[in-house]
Amino acid sequence: MPVGRPWMRGVGQGGHRADGLDAAVRAARTDTAGAHTVDVDGNVRETYRADDHGGDGYIAEIEILRGDLSRVLYEGTRDGVEYLFGDRIAALTQDADGVDVALVGGASTW
């Protein structure tokens, strides 16, 4: 199994589709068809297939490396999204009007 193989599961899969990124995500995915669990002697104990549980099992229909997913999401949204690099969230405060975000670097936004 590739290292750093995140993928959104369940309802989280709809986000990339809603943003029109489905084709780009699918183009960047790995060709993982499945995996096996083996014992110390190399005997297959269990098999996981990409189409198990409607493609939402242990091995997902779409497996993509973390860096590739980050690149696809960034390239597909950078024209309409403000990205802030080199900072991190210090606090989130939610009220009826939305969420206020305080950053470690001192900026507050939204």
Residue 50 carries which DSSP code? T
> Do the Cβ atoms of 103 and 88 come closer than 8 Å?
yes
* 3-state SS, residue 71: helix
Local confidence band at 109 (pLDDT 50, 70, 90 cut-offs): low
Inform me whether the pLDDT recorded for 10 exceeds 90: no
Q: What is the pLDDT of residue 4?
A: 41
Q: What is the pLDDT of residues 38-88, one digit of tens each?
A: 999 999 998 888 777 776 766 766 777 889 988 998 999 999 988 888 899
Q: Is the pTM of this model over 0.75?
A: no
Give yes or no for a contact between 7 and 60, defined as CB atoms under 8 angstroms apart: yes
Neighbours of 94 (CB within 10 A): 8
Is 1 a residue whose pLDDT tops 50? Answer: no
* Measured distance CA(70)–CA(76) in Å, rounded: 10
Average pLDDT score over residue span 26-35: 80
